[in-house]
Structure 1
Amino acid sequence: MRLIIRLVLQLVAITLLSLTLTAGWVMVDAHRAIETEAARSAERVAHQLENLYWHAILWRGSMRRDNILPRPDWESLATLKLVSPGVCISYGPGNEEPRTLCSQLEGVGAAAPEWFSTAYQMIFGAHAPIIRPLTVRQPETGAISVRAEPDAAIRQAWRQISIIVSVAAAMAICICALAAAAIVHALAPTRAIVEGLRQLEQGNYDRRLDAVSKGEFGLIARAVNDLAARLAQTTAERAALTKRLFEVQEEERRALARDLHDEFGQCLTATLAFAGSIETAAAKIDDGVAEDARAIARVAKRMMTTLRDALARLRSQDLEELGFEASLVQLAASWNAKAERKAVVHLRLLGELSDLPQAMSTSLYRIAQECLTNAMRHGDSKNVYLRIERAASIDGLVALTVEDDGGGDASRLATASGHGILGIRERIAAFGGSLSISDAARGVRVVARLPLIPVGPAPLKGVALA
């Protein structure tokens, strides 16, 4: 729409510029026409007076120089007919005082507006008088002075400009209207194309554009449709690959947890047993050795505590054995049971969550796990609220909300490039869900929404900041 408005405005500007140039050209042409008419009037009147001169010589028989000049009655209707409207003739034979004969201004046109008169005088100024000798052989007969009346010149210029510019303006308006209609009709498909591109930007790859035309816009529409189809296919393949990668990741987590439990757990248990035996045996022999054994036991216990925490994060058997809801309760309880905890985790479960798909339950559990870890590590929270709700409708959503009261900057978290946020985004994108990170009352709120009905997954380009 903006393109159409911009083109129409450009068309109007070009039209106004053309009208301005036309008005200027008409003013210049009118100025030259007035000067031409004045010169022609001078020629005609001079020829008439010269005829009067020869008439006096031939028919009156007077050869005296002071009597062969034209008669004073040259200011007649016959002479006035030879003068163009708005032109004045001044003539004085011999040493007589020149007399002036002017044509009427009514024949030139109506009076021009004051602003036009001022502009015309500023641009062109007054017309220079035209001097023409009556006859070259008798210089004493005098010369004719012809000048255009300023008001007559302005009237004539205004009349020509009014006529020509009015016609040009009417034609320009018609041309602008027809051209604007043609532009609007020609660019009408751009609105549908832009809307289709916006739908693609929002992840709606099912939208297809109609064949708007057979020209360039038709080619663009077909290219957009092909792009949407390829993006839909690529996104579906990417989502399937992402889900498979998460499944492989879970399998690797379980395998790693078994290895840690079976190997490192047994080794640490044996280390504790050996340290106890050494301490018992050396208690009566060497106190230093006994103290070293106790130090080994303390290190082994710390390692076992760290190992249990790692196993708790790696193992997902609880989801299969205990179920999704019980696993969430155990997750919240494990955080609250830690001696070095910073905040209390408040868990709230709403709706039926027991029959969620296994892949979705795993992803929701991992998202909750990552959000709680971020709230505990990077914030100064006293309370963390974990809420998972399933909508009552069949085609509803499962919404996971984590909110803390530890301050924090939502925009900074939203643009973070860490693996935790990236993993959350990938898990949500695999199910075609959405993620929003916003400021809460006293902290940060993270909301993940996953659709229950399988839909075409949309690429999660970022997060929505409230």
Structure 2
Amino acid sequence: MISLKAGLSWLIGLVLLAMLLINLTIQLMHAGPRVRAEAGSNLRLAREFVLTTIASIPSNANPAPALRQLYANLGRLRHVDITILERGEAPPAQWSQPERLLADNPPAWFVRLVDVPPPRVVIVPIRAHERDYGSVAIVSNPLDELEEIWSDMTWLASISLVVTLAIIVLVLLLVRYSLAPFEALQACLADLEARKSGIRIAPQGATEFRDISNALNSLAATLDRVRQENRDLVNELIEIQDSERKDIARDLHDEAGPCLFSIRAAAASLQEAVAQSPAEPERLRQISTIMDRAGEALQSLFRGLLGRLRPTGLSELGLEAALKNLFASWSLGHPEVDLRLSCPHDLSSLDETTALTAYRVVQESVTNVFRHANASWARVSAEFGCDMIGETGESETEDAPTLIIVVEDNGVGIAEEHRSGMGLLGMRERVQGLGGRMKVERGVAGGTRVIVSLPIRDEDEADRE
């Protein structure tokens, strides 16, 4: 691949060279007819002039001075050679040979290329007072016209060559100056590829380069923001993971530990009671009751831990049943908020990954309602349909079926210039990980509205993942 500067130089040079060749070819095509017409015209003019001069010689005068003046006048004509032959003298044979015209300027190859016609010899007898004074030989000589054509073409080629070189030099300088911002753009792209932060480039050069620089600066700012959000999200996830581990460790220590101690103590008491003879049924009944209560407490503890780690009944009963169980527990904990769930379609056909993402989206959205919205009611709908986010102008509407989740409330709503917290960032990461879209906006009548579109994947795609 050649560079842009070399390409432009070659292009301009070839165009100018082609124009030069076209001009030279046109002149060369017209050179032959031009030489023939000029030679014939001058030959006829010289003959007429000779005849007129001879006819004007007085009958009582000596023709010698008039003939000398005639020869002197005819010698000034172009494209013809004039000579006076003595009476009975024949013109030399070499006058009619084409080689007579060959010379160094123009070169012989150019004369042959133009196809110059052979010289023509016209003999005009000189008669006065009924006496024969010889004759005038007029020979056509197109070499003069051919020399002019050769000179014109040589000057045209020289001037065109100089102009071509000058234009190429100017183009190289202009291209070098115009493409100077490319180096800065290339360096900026290299820094972005190296994952450097705070990369900015000063707009310079032509308008196109300024637009590219502004777009590149916007891209760099977006990448910096995304990297920072990813770092904040990773740190938040690590903190949440550590907090969950601490909570699980505390629950296991505070609740599972005493239960296990009770079971071990009851087991030891059971061994002592069995070793006694006879055994006391009432004591055995008390020991079994203690062990049963400890086992039930452990089962309840493990059920709660599993529910926190994974939604209860999501894989067995489906998304709708899991959401209903979640809403039932929320209604007990937050009776001041009227929660309503709408699932007009059968959601049992969703794959596990999509169903879990939808569950987490609803869980986080409604949790934000409890924490920040100060709302009296919240509505959640989950149904199949087309992409609603595309209809609002964020992206093009797609005909592929999607799972549409809408969570809205009548709370205080979000600010015009709000910054997404870790919860919304986590939701967005989950949704985008499945190829979906998410939008958070103010409701028409106030409050907040969260719209999520998740693509419905076929079984083969879900199995591959």
TM-score with structure 1 length normalisation? 0.39
Name which one, 1 or 2, has greater alpha-carbon Rg: 2
TM-score with structure 2 length normalisation? 0.39
